[in-house]
């Protein structure tokens, strides 16, 4: 089975949470924690390069990171493809690069380029007809080898009903799943579930515009995928800041040793012994 087929099978059975990763190590930690899916967050990848989530990285930079992530895990990876990096032809080419990197799904959004984080203010969106061209171009390029997710950021720009109308058009253009970004109330989340009879993705994370909703409610409203894009990276930033403060203050990290895995545990996480075993095979 392709990774896209595995993903479709998983999402047909129940709702799933996909924590956000930004490199091979964070993806592997998600897999080792027992999650069935990982979400490769474009925003987290951008921040990992020291830049804000403003569409500043190129398709090559992002797709190379996607390949590293997919190579590190066996579970399906859902990837953030931003606006497709240009027009319909650019989106088509980007989707093929992401597919070659090994991802199971991509979500494509209807913001203008350069995009902004979905929970930033002052976003702008392209005409729905233009975005449908991108969706059709991507579907034509990848066939069934990628799950195609359409994301709309139109709520803050054009209002609730206009965004619902866009999402219907996006499903007709070939999207298998709908991602209505940044609803701000539980009532909106339930209404999206009622008005959009398609599998749905929702983005929920601490401090975002979207309220936290119990998984069972989301499942009943037709949501099948919950992404948590940046919490792992934010946790890593906090742990690194605490460790750096200890090193600067004390000259070493002894005061925060309980925050860190042991040397042995770190090597087990990244599979060093498996690589050593492989090397010994070739030395025989």
Q: Which residues are part of the catalytic machinery?
A: 39, 53, 80, 82, 107, 109, 117, 151, 181, 203
- The token duo for 271 is 């599979």
Handedness of CA 148, 52, 36, 209 (dihedral sign): negative
Alpha carbons 37 and 75: distance in angstroms, whole number: 6
Q: Residues 208, 239: contact at Cβ < 8 Å?
A: no
- Chain centroid, CA 155 distance in Å: 20
H-only helix segments in 14-154: 24-32, 42-48, 59-72, 88-101, 128-142
Matching residue, tokens 């894009």? 229
- What angle (nearest 5°) sits at the alpha carbon of residue 181, between those of residues 37 and 97? 55
Q: Residues 69, 40: contact at Cβ < 8 Å?
A: yes
């Amino acid at each position: 089975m392709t990774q896209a087929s595995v993903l479709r099978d998983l999402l047909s059975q129940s709702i799933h949470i996909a924590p956000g990763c930004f490199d091979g190590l964070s993806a592997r930690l998600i897999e080792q924690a027992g999650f069935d899916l990982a979400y490769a967050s474009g925003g987290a990848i951008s921040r990992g390069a020291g830049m804000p989530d403003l569409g500043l990285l190129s398709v090559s930079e992002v797709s190379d990171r996607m390949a590293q992530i997919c190579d590190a895990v066996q579970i399906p990876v859902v990837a953030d493809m931003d606006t497709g990096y240009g027009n319909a032809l650019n989106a088509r080419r980007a989707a093929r690069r992401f597919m070659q990197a090994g991802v199971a799904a991509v979500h494509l959004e209807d913001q203008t380029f350069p995009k902004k984080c979905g929970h930033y203010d002052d976003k702008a969106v392209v005409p729905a007809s233009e975005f449908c061209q991108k969706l059709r171009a991507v579907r034509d390029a990848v066939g069934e080898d990628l799950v195609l997710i359409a994301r709309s950021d139109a709520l803050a720009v054009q209002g609730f009903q206009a965004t619902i109308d866009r999402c219907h058009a996006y499903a007709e253009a070939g999207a298998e799943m709908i991602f209505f970004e940044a609803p701000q109330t539980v009532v909106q989340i339930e209404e999206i579930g009622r008005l959009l009879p398609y599998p749905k993705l929702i983005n929920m994370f601490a401090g975002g515009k979207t309220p936290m909703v119990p998984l069972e409610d989301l499942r009943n409203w037709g949501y099948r995928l919950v992404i948590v894009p940046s919490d792992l990276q934010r946790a890593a930033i906090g742990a690194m800041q605490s460790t750096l403060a200890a090193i600067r203050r004390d000259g070493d990290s002894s005061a925060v040793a309980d925050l860190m895995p042991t040397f042995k545990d770190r090597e087990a996480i990244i599979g060093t012994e498996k690589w050593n075993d492989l090397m010994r095979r070739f030395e025989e």
